[in-house]
Amino acid sequence: MEDFDLEMVKNHEAFKNANPRHRDNFLKLYSQGKTPYQLFEEFTLKAIRTGRDKYGAKAIAELVRWHTWKNEKKGKVQNSHITMYARMFCYNHPEYSDFFSFRGSNG
């Protein structure tokens, strides 16, 4: 996992209104390379390349689960982290920051 400034990520617009407990837990796992984020990113970029301008993070998370169910070494997608995957995608790809919609401060 590449190095990143944890405080900078936490304070980024993509993580605005994120649940602090879920955010911090996700970022800890992400920084340790214990999430299948790369698959989430790959499937999101595929959805974008097919012409979608919006899509659900839950749908992409289910694809990740399907592709990792036999290999838990890649990490599991926790329900409470699905929005964090989407937020991390928006952080890493600001040009697609409106691809996912975020509601309130639940996630």
Instruction: Note the pLDDT tens digit of each residue in 53-103.
Output: 999 999 999 999 988 876 665 567 889 999 999 999 999 999 999 999 987
- Is there a contact between 5 and 30 (Cβ–Cβ < 8 Å)? no
* Residue that wins the pLDDT comparison between 105 and 30: 30
Query: Whole-number mean pLDDT of the chain?
Result: 88
Shortest CA distance to 37 belongs to which of 10, 60, 71?
A: 60
Within the chain, residue ranges assigned H as helices are 6-10, 20-31, 37-49, 57-68, 82-92
Q: How far apart are CA 16 and CA 23, in angstroms?
A: 10
Q: Is the pLDDT of residue 107 over 60?
A: no
pLDDT of residue 41: 97
- Is there a contact between 75 and 28 (Cβ–Cβ < 8 Å)? no
User: For 10, what's the count of Cα atoms within 13 Å in the CB-facing half-sphere?
Assistant: 14
Across the range 41-64, mean pLDDT stands at 96
User: What's the whole-model pTM score?
Assistant: 0.87
The C-alpha R_g of the chain, in whole angstroms, comes to 13
Q: Is the pLDDT of residue 1 over 60?
A: no
pLDDT of residue 89: 96
pLDDT of residue 104: 63
pLDDT of residue 67: 85
